[in-house]
Amino acid sequence: MGKKDDYKIQLENIAHVAPTMNAGTTILFVIHGKLVIEKGSHDFSLVKNDLIVLNHNEYYAARGDDETIVIRLQMTSPFFASYYADYFQFAFDCVSNTIDTGRERMIALLRKYLAEMMIAQSYKTESSQLEIQSAMFQIMLLLTRFFKKELVLKEGATVHDTRITRITQQLEQRFDEQITLQDIAEQEFLSVSYLSRYFKKVTGLGFLQYLTQIRLKHSLDDLRASSANISQIAQKNGFSSPKNFTTSFKAYYGKTPATYRQEALTSQASPEKTEAASTQTKQIAQSPDILVQLAQYRQAAEQVSLVDEAPFEKKVISLSANKATTAIPDPLHILMIGELKEALKENVQTQLMLAKAELRVRYVGIRHLIGGTTLLPDKETDEKLPTSSPYANADLAIAYLQKLDLRLFIRMEYQETIANEPLYFQKLEQFMRHVMQVFGRGFVSSWHFMYFEPHRTAVPKKELQRVYLKLQQLLKSFDARIQVGSYLSFSERREMPLPSHEWMVETADAIDFVAFNANQNEAVDFSKSANEDFFVTQDYVLSKTKKLKQYLKQHQIDKPLILANWNTLTGNTRYTNGTFFRGALIFQTVLAVSSEVAGLGFWINTELYEEELREHTIRLDGLELFHFFNGKRPAFYALQFKERLRGEIIAHGEDFVLTAFEDGYQLVLLNCTHFNPLYSVEDSFLRAHRKEWYIRLHGFLAGHYQLRTFQFDRDNGALYSKYWELNSKYGWDQEMMNYVIQASRPTLSVSDEDISDDWSFYAYLDMNAIHFYEFRRTI
């Protein structure tokens, strides 16, 4: 654990610091006034809340005034290196007001821990030292994880060699002894010449220069606070003679030890004097006002957690390298609700309005139109004009959908049709006459009818063909514009349909569209635990779509495709419900498949989805947009992000999409992670799939932009993360669910950015996270 001399934190007024070499690692945090730091060929102007990190052996100067108040944290190089072996191979690049976007959370944490160190030092409680050191180690962790940059060293420096750390620690501990380069060389079994070259390569300083700096640093306290003469101070700090001490001191600080002592005594006796001095700093006491201000830094970072270290990757996205543009695909979206009467439910109507407004849903998918319970049974009556109608509920539901400008996508099942075929066709004809009369030819002619028989069927293909043609002829007799198509059971592995469904090839002229299902869960055996078995699902939905298109092309069938039901991996069990976040997987699949199909289907909510086949507890062939109580599932937000895309796609890759529109640009980053969902209950496994990206955007039109950033991941928008926070064995109610729904949404942050041709930022993406950046040019 660190000793008192290993680190020091204090509150200072900095008026002026002459050019000097920084020893160790220093953080300056401005909490009042202004401070200009001259470092290398750059000047950094810091104001309140800004901070800067000064690296070991880095020359700097500072200019402030009487109003400048700074927290200064100094850590010696040997102390830092004892906990971080690669200390001398890296520098910490951290100036808060020039930091790349994406590092704001880390800056907030640095402020927080510096404030905590000062507060703990002020209160001096029994745990103060523990609190100080805990905060300091958090600062060291932040610097090494998120702000380090590799130093350019000469050939021969070994990045992971800890020898220099061992040597510098020894110099720090034995600085007052007559230690020599030869002593250390013999200890390390090295030649003197090799160690001399090696030491300078790694630390940037010669051995004697490094040792002298340590001795000079320790002499300062003696000059300021002791009455010992120069000769005694020289001897105490390891110098061979007073002359050697004086010469070294003047070369390093620009004045003799005697002059430094005199200026220090004068400054302490008369702090109001403003005579010129090479360095003008003074420690100041903490006041109640300052403590209140420091506490605000802690509160501001309360919701910011330290991001676990994630695999680091650099990405350059260049507009100039991608001259070709792609239109953003916009297939029609179909929302399955089960029976038509479900549209009369209040929560379903709320969901339909949201889906239409935010997700561009244009069709409502229904099932069991004739054989279900929406149409009421005929009643015997002696009334001349019957006051009851079998279409009462259907009329109310259709009228509501027509008001929302939503059309019907109706699934016509073979088994329902032939259960009582004459009666079925009679009722269907009567229904069509009724809706044509009530709702008008223009509205009904836009409906789609999908003929359906499951892939596992014993029905001969000629029989399936016969019933389809009979349905098609009846529906087309009302209006030729009505779209009549069929579901095709297609095998992705065999790249062809099952035999019973091959009738569609010879009946293609009578088919308006081809519908199909694609479910990634079909491609794996969930009884296996090997993660590599799940890689085959990565592009399953897109692969099946393309193979189906190729099959139809081979048979000269050019019909629109509608992906009626589909899904990403789910885990095949409720055990992973809510733990396996799928946002990025859904977005990636939606965007990829949207350019290949004319229509894309979703289920409206969990309740209706699970009621559709009541004998199955779990349904895996569809995605629901809503949960119970109108909570939004990941599919809702993933589709919402896709619909937010504007303009044209100007660059894209496996994990990003970049668009350009009239007023700016949009960038979507995706951390798509394919693995066995059963692993999603292990936090350590999930942390391993987080990613840190350093993004450079090249080719943007220079100017002022408003940047809107949306973050969607397990902790920001996923329903279950908030759901579990209110866990109770006594159940749920409307109040609790309303809170969860309001709290479960992607986060939004807004900043103003001046962007030149080349702009960079950092992004930290959790497993299957979506980050959506919208750059709007200002007017």
The helix (H) or strand (E) run that includes residue 703 is strand 703-712
Rounded average pLDDT over 154-175: 65
Instruction: Yes or no: say if 714 and 581 are a contact pair by the CB < 8 Å rule.
Output: yes
**DSSP H helical segments within 440-539, as ranges?**
441-444, 461-478, 503-506
How do residues 570-600 score in pLDDT, each as one tens digit?
Answer: 766 655 667 788 999 999 999 999 999 999 9
Q: What tokens were used for 468?
A: 């389809």
The whole-angstrom separation of Cα 56 and Cα 203 is 9
Q: 280 φ, ψ to 5°?
A: -125, 95
Of the candidates 712, 669, 675, which has an alpha carbon nearest to the alpha carbon of residue 691?
669
Q: What does the longest C-alpha to C-alpha distance in the chain come to? A: 127
Least confident interval from 88-97, 367-376, 437-446: 88-97
- Report which of residues 7 and 343 the model is more confident about: 343
Across the chain, mean pLDDT equals 86
Q: Do the bridges between strand 624-626 and strand 35-39 make them parallel or antiparallel, or are there none, so unpaired?
A: unpaired
Instruction: Yes or no: say if 563 and 594 are a contact pair by the CB < 8 Å rule.
Output: no
State the pLDDT at residue 614: 61
Beta-bridge mates of residue 107: none
Instruction: Yes or no: say if 376 and 388 are a contact pair by the CB < 8 Å rule.
Output: yes
Residue 240 has pLDDT above 70, yes or no: yes
What string of H, E and C letters represents the secondary structure of 232-292? HHHHHCCCCCHHHHHHHHHHHHCCCHHHHHHHHHHHHHCCCCCCCCCEEEEECCCCHHHHH
- Host domain of residue 8: 1-152+281-304
Q: Estimate the crossing angle of helix 207-225 against helix 257-269, to 10 degrees.
A: 40
The whole-angstrom separation of Cα 415 and Cα 454 is 10
Rounded average pLDDT over 503-508: 94
The whole-angstrom separation of Cα 265 and Cα 250 is 18
Rounded average pLDDT over 186-205: 83
Q: Do 65 and 118 fall into the same domain? A: yes
The whole-angstrom separation of Cα 226 and Cα 486 is 96
Q: Do 91 and 196 fall into the same domain? A: no
> CB atoms < 10 A from the CB of 683, how many?
10
Q: How many domains does the chain have?
A: 2
Rounded average pLDDT over 474-478: 97
How do residues 251-299 score in pLDDT, each as one tens digit?
Answer: 888 889 998 888 877 766 554 443 334 567 777 777 778 888 888 887 7
269, 295, 322 - which closes a domain: 269
Q: What tokens were used for 480?
A: 């030729």
> CB atoms < 10 A from the CB of 177, how many?
11
Instruction: Yes or no: say if 237 and 176 are a contact pair by the CB < 8 Å rule.
Output: yes
Q: Is 315 among the domain residues? A: no
Q: Do 58 and 101 fall into the same domain? A: yes
Q: Do 132 and 177 fall into the same domain? A: no
Of the candidates 394, 401, 388, which has an alpha carbon nearest to the alpha carbon of residue 348?
401
Cβ-count burial 655-667 (b if 16+ within 10 Å, e if not): bbbbbbbeebbbb
The helix (H) or strand (E) run that includes residue 5 is none
Q: Is 544 among the domain residues? A: no
* 37 to 24, 51, 98: CA distances (angstroms): 17, 11, 13
In the chain, what percentage of residues exceed pLDDT 90? 49
Q: Is 482 among the domain residues? A: no
Instruction: Yes or no: say if 693 and 765 are a contact pair by the CB < 8 Å rule.
Output: yes
Q: Is 460 among the domain residues? A: no
Cβ-count burial 48-80 (b if 16+ within 10 Å, e if not): ebbbbbbbbbbebbbbbeeebbbbbbbbbbbbb
58 contact partners, CB below 8 Å, separation of at least 6: 21, 22, 39, 91
Q: Do 128 and 9 fall into the same domain? A: yes
How do residues 597-615 score in pLDDT, each as one tens digit?
Answer: 999 999 998 888 877 766 5
The whole-angstrom separation of Cα 623 and Cα 640 is 14
Q: Which amino acid is at 430?
A: Q
CA dihedral over 713, 716, 718, 721, signed as positive or negative: positive
> CB atoms < 10 A from the CB of 752, how many?
9
State the pLDDT at residue 431: 97
- Tokens 């609790």 appear where? 736
Q: Which amino acid is at 209?
A: Q
Q: Is 222 among the domain residues? A: yes
Q: Do 125 and 82 fall into the same domain? A: yes
Q: Which amino acid is at 219?
A: S
Q: Estimate the crossing angle of helix 392-403 against helix 421-439, to 10 degrees.
A: 50
Q: Do the bridges between strand 483-487 and strand 514-519 make them parallel or antiparallel, or are there none, so unpaired?
A: parallel
Residue 257 sits in a domain of what CATH number?
A: 1.10.10.60
Least confident interval from 190-199, 510-519, 706-715: 190-199
Instruction: Yes or no: say if 359 and 333 are a contact pair by the CB < 8 Å rule.
Output: yes
Instruction: Yes or no: say if 496 and 455 are a contact pair by the CB < 8 Å rule.
Output: no
Of the candidates 56, 41, 59, 60, which has an alpha carbon nearest to the alpha carbon of residue 89?
56
The whole-angstrom separation of Cα 360 and Cα 405 is 11
Q: Is 731 among the domain residues? A: no
Q: Do 230 and 289 fall into the same domain? A: no
Q: Do 96 and 244 fall into the same domain? A: no
Q: Is 50 among the domain residues? A: yes
The whole-angstrom separation of Cα 27 and Cα 55 is 9
Instruction: Yes or no: say if 336 and 601 are a contact pair by the CB < 8 Å rule.
Output: yes
3-class DSSP state of 40: coil
221 contact partners, CB below 8 Å, separation of at least 6: none
The whole-angstrom separation of Cα 222 and Cα 20 is 19
Least confident interval from 112-116, 242-246, 740-744: 740-744
Residue 340 has pLDDT above 90, yes or no: yes
Angle at 669 between CA 666 and CA 674, to 5 degrees: 150
Rounded average pLDDT over 327-334: 95
The helix (H) or strand (E) run that includes residue 760 is strand 758-765
Q: Which amino acid is at 606?
A: T
* Burial class, 210, CB count within 10 angstroms (exposed 0-12 / middle 13-18 / buried 19+): buried
State the pLDDT at residue 320: 67
> 307 pLDDT band (50/70/90 cuts)?
low
Most confident of 15-24, 441-450, 649-658: 441-450
* 636 to 351, 468, 492, 625: CA distances (angstroms): 11, 34, 27, 5
Q: Is 6 among the domain residues? A: yes
> 246 pLDDT band (50/70/90 cuts)?
very high
Residue 224 has pLDDT above 90, yes or no: no
Least confident interval from 122-136, 313-327, 684-698: 313-327
Q: Do 125 and 13 fall into the same domain? A: yes
Q: Do 126 and 222 fall into the same domain? A: no
Instruction: Yes or no: say if 337 and 389 are a contact pair by the CB < 8 Å rule.
Output: no
Residue 351 has pLDDT above 70, yes or no: yes
Residue 201 has pLDDT above 80, yes or no: no
The whole-angstrom separation of Cα 351 and Cα 347 is 6
269, 290, 315 - which closes a domain: 269
392 contact partners, CB below 8 Å, separation of at least 6: 376
> 160 pLDDT band (50/70/90 cuts)?
very low
Q: Do 296 and 188 fall into the same domain? A: no
323 contact partners, CB below 8 Å, separation of at least 6: none
The whole-angstrom separation of Cα 187 and Cα 182 is 9
Q: Do 198 and 104 fall into the same domain? A: no
Residue 131 sits in a domain of what CATH number?
A: 2.60.120.10
State the pLDDT at residue 607: 81
3-class DSSP state of 46: strand
State the pLDDT at residue 158: 42
CA dihedral 457, 463, 466, 468 (to 10 degrees): -10
Q: Kindly provide the residue ranges of all beta strands, DSSP E only, lying in 172-242, ordered along the sequence.
A: none
The whole-angstrom separation of Cα 184 and Cα 198 is 12
